Structure 1
Amino acid sequence: MAFEELLERAGGMGLFQVLQVATLLLPTIFTPFHMLLENFSAAIPDHRCWTHMLDNGSETSANLTYEALLAVSIPPGPDQQPHPCRRFRQPQWQLLDPNTTAANWSEAATEPCVDGWVYDHSTFTATVVTKWNLVCDSQGLKPMGQSIYMAGILVGSFIWGLLSYRLGRKPMLSWCCLQVAVAGTGTTFAPNFLIYCGLRFLSAFGLAGIILVLSTLIAEWTTTRRRAVTMMILGCTYSTGQMAVAGLAFILRDWQDLQLATSMPLLAFSLVSWSVRFGASSRRWLPESARWLIITGQPDRALQELKKVARINGHKEARKTLTIEVLMSSMKEEAVSARAHTSVLDLIRMPALRRRICTMLVVKSAELASGFCCPGERMLWNQPDLPHHLQDRALPHSTADDRRRLLAVSRPPGGNDGPPDQDGPPGPALAASAVLRYHPCGFQPGSPALPPRDPGSSTS
């Protein structure tokens, strides 16, 4: 805990940490905006083929209603609504006869929407789908665009950790915010869908850096005792952003306006992080991580940052107690270990670290699985045509299977069969117990025993 001692000398948790977290909440709250943006900016509105009779005002018949013209121009789809991707080659006037049977129109010649589509603008005035007509034969391009975005997140997750270690936390955070802002703004002016996808990839690439570097910068300026609370505040802010994006999309119905509204604040933060002076200090805000400065051989800069933090925290005696000698003696062992050659394989060579990583993987996998499995179970539960006896069996047993899997991976080799929070060593069992307790499918302490795998057998 060498650096922990230096933080305590600089005032521990004080005004500086409060202001730092408050400042970094801005990029935190806008991170989920970009993650969830395409749920609204790329929404698929109701649509149909463009037809001369319906959409060319000079050819509209004054003697027929819109519904009648629609019936003779557009064939019904599988749901008996106007087909979104086909139209009649010629108006089928016989369909206006109430005695017409299905055979009278099913044999009529149809064609694709060669003249384009007409979209329903009652919910969104414009989306990515309506701009580039990502419907019918081109509907596969929309999920491809989102896959490219997630690929940017994946690549950025590997790259930005290395760059922030070599170049610093602060410049990488500012650069990532600038990259997301510029790429996000650029998507509104993209001339085609290919360039749009490329800019979305760059935006996602930078967004991964914001997520990684921001949390690292905060953690390195926070004492161990308060770190969990600080990370919880960031998590709550992220969740607030997830809720706020729907409200913003409700106000801004045009995808370009929505894209600009979520990108420009990050541009402002990028500029603020470099140009705004904090108090009477000649250094600029945000300060670099003092821990990173020490382990990369910049103790003079680290000392300046620590003294500035101590001054903001009202720890005046730090001017005397914080010296280069104290700093180097406190961080000597950590600086030596930081210069040692390491690799990814070191993560699995140490038993304690390997156990923690495996536990984190299990917990994260359970979290992701719950997000995918539970909506399907709720859909199953809400099916009106499903017999009640199947509803009563399907949902409890599907959630029970999830619970069994988590219990299985949480038990140490040779462990007992009881709940993970009762017997056996802590660690994976305790973590899995916490996942079960807060699992969205409703696993609570004191819940009934698991039903048998075979509904007809007895509980073992």
Structure 2
Amino acid sequence: MKYDDLVEHLGEFGPYQRKIYLLTCLPVLSAAIQSLLPIFILATPDHRCSIPELTNDTYTTQDTGHLALQNHTLWRGGGDVSNPWGSGQCHNIVNRSAADPDALKGNFPFSNKTEKCNRWVYDTSTFDSTFATQINIVCDAKSLRSHANMIYMAGVLVGSFVFGLVSDKIGRKKAILMSLVFHSVAAICTAFSPNFPVFAFLRFVTGLGDVGLFMCCFVLAMELVGRKWRAQAGVAIQYFWCAGMFVLVGMAYGIRDWKVLQVVPSCCTVVIFLLWWSVHPMLNVCVRIMAELTACDATRQ
């Protein structure tokens, strides 16, 4: 007797199977959110160099005096409609200070000598803050955004090997719980990253957990249902990935601070962990026994 024959005899998609199937879909939704969060938490709003010596500078022009200070100290070369500040995003005019008595008068000589700035102000009309604005991932450092995504995908690559072996060794439920721990702990800690190396490491660990969740949940879902429902179940679980995208968009629209946006869906994963913890431990045992029975019958035949 084959494994599929046993499942068909017990029921291909009964009430208990539907309950566990739904539980396998919820982590996929959470994994999708964490996978796409960098779109928002690493977003780089419009920005320009901060006016030297002006501690309360803002991206928005406050008055004519503020505009005069901008013209006095900031370089606007290469600007266009999409980027009005041009080179002023990364360069100040050399030897021009907000403390210069000519700053508010506008009667200063022309100068095209510039230097790189080390402080920036950001447009807060779309995002209150992002990780990119927190550590200034702009100008020469803007490649760090792609590096962060690359490191996350490296975690996905490693996790594909690790959790494939682990789930076969210790069982699907334990592997899912382990993935949820990696996923939720790393995601919550990401909100408190003080610098890029810490952020990148935590994104790597999050990638480990994300792919572990998706792989283990997908395989378990396919093992639970009979042949008649397997194709539909394989497609339906993907809908929860798509649902995660829509949920993230709604969260990002309502939550404009990147730390809060990072923590809220991560805390929801803790609830999913508790739900999986409550699943009867005999699930793994039953699946293992059924697999052993079919393997034994196949050997005898």
User: What TM-score range do you get, normalising by the shorter chain?
Assistant: 0.7 to 0.9
State the Cα deviation string for residues 320-372 of structure 1 (Å, max 9, x = none). Answer: xxxxxxxx3x54245789xxxxxxxxxxxxxxxxxxxxxxxxxxxxxxxxxxx
CA change 1:167–1:192 in 2 (3 A) is same
The equivalent of 1:348 in structure 2 is: none
Q: Is the aligned partner of 1:37 residue 2:34?
A: no
For 2:89, what is the secondary structure of its paired residue?
Answer: coil
The equivalent of 2:117 in structure 1 is: 113
For 2:12, what is the secondary structure of its paired residue?
Answer: coil
The equivalent of 2:296 in structure 1 is: 332
Q: Which amino acid aligns with 1:73?
A: T
**Percent identity (aligned):** 30
Shift in Å, 1:94? 11
1:31-70 to structure 2, matched below 5 A, reads 31-52=31-52, 54-56=54-56, 64-70=64-70
Where does structure 1 lack aligned partners over 5 or more consecutive residues?
A: 277-282, 298-327, 338-460
Shift in Å, 1:53? 6.2
Contact 2:163 2:216 in 1 (8 A): yes
Contact 1:153 1:208 in 2 (8 A): yes
For 1:40, what is the secondary structure of its paired residue?
Answer: helix
CA change 1:234–1:168 in 2 (3 A) is same
For 2:219, what is the secondary structure of its paired residue?
Answer: helix
State the Cα deviation string for residues 398-423 of structure 1 (Å, max 9, x = none). Answer: xxxxxxxxxxxxxxxxxxxxxxxxxx
For 1:288, what is the secondary structure of its paired residue?
Answer: helix
Q: Pick from 161, 165, 169 the counterpart of residue 162 of structure 1.
A: 165
Contact 1:72 1:95 in 2 (8 A): no
State the Cα deviation string for residues 256-296 of structure 1 (Å, max 9, x = none). Answer: 111111211222212221136xxxxxx458x227343444x
CA change 1:148–1:246 in 2 (3 A) is same
Contact 1:30 1:262 in 2 (8 A): yes
For 1:29, what is the secondary structure of its paired residue?
Answer: helix
Q: Pick from 203, 228, 231 the counterpart of residue 231 of structure 2.
A: 228
For 1:148, what is the secondary structure of its paired residue?
Answer: helix
Q: Which amino acid aligns with 1:129?
A: A
CA change 1:265–1:138 in 2 (3 A) is same
Would you say how many aligned residue pairs link Structure 1 and Structure 2? 287
1:71-86 to structure 2, matched below 5 A, reads 71-80=71-80, 81-82=84-85, 83-86=88-91
CA change 1:186–1:335 in 2 (3 A) is farther
* Greater Rg over alpha carbons, structure: 1
Shift in Å, 1:190? 2.0
Q: Which amino acid aligns with 2:189?
A: G
CA change 1:73–1:227 in 2 (3 A) is same
Q: Which amino acid aligns with 1:19?
A: K
Q: Is the aligned partner of 1:143 residue 2:146?
A: yes
For 1:190, what is the secondary structure of its paired residue?
Answer: coil
Q: 1:233 & 1:77 partners in 2: Cα distance?
A: 52
Q: 1:68 & 1:185 partners in 2: Cα distance?
A: 43
Shift in Å, 1:29? 1.3
The equivalent of 1:211 in structure 2 is: 214
CA change 1:289–1:33 in 2 (3 A) is farther
Q: Which amino acid aligns with 2:18?
A: V
Q: Which amino acid aligns with 1:45?
A: P
State the Cα deviation string for residues 189-228 of structure 1 (Å, max 9, x = none). Answer: 2222111111110110111111110000010010011011
Q: 2:186 & 2:298 partners in 1: Cα distance?
A: 38
Q: 2:219 & 2:300 partners in 1: Cα distance?
A: 21
Shift in Å, 1:3? 1.2
The equivalent of 1:292 in structure 2 is: 288
TM-score normalised to structure 2 length: 0.86
State the Cα deviation string for residues 13-35 of structure 1 (Å, max 9, x = none). Answer: 21112212222222121121111
TM-score normalised to structure 1 length: 0.58
Q: Is the aligned partner of 1:2 residue 2:24?
A: no
**Cα RMSD (Å):** 2.7
Q: Is the aligned partner of 1:25 residue 2:25?
A: yes
CA change 1:17–1:130 in 2 (3 A) is same
For 1:48, what is the secondary structure of its paired residue?
Answer: strand
State the Cα deviation string for residues 300-332 of structure 1 (Å, max 9, x = none). Answer: xxxxxxxxxxxxxxxxxxxxxxxxxxxx3x542
Structure of higher RCO (CA pairs closer than 8 Å, 6+ residues apart)? 2
For 1:70, what is the secondary structure of its paired residue?
Answer: helix
Any runs of at least 4 consecutive aligned residues in structure 1 with deviations exceeding 4 A, and if so which? 53-57, 91-97, 334-337
CA change 1:79–1:88 in 2 (3 A) is same
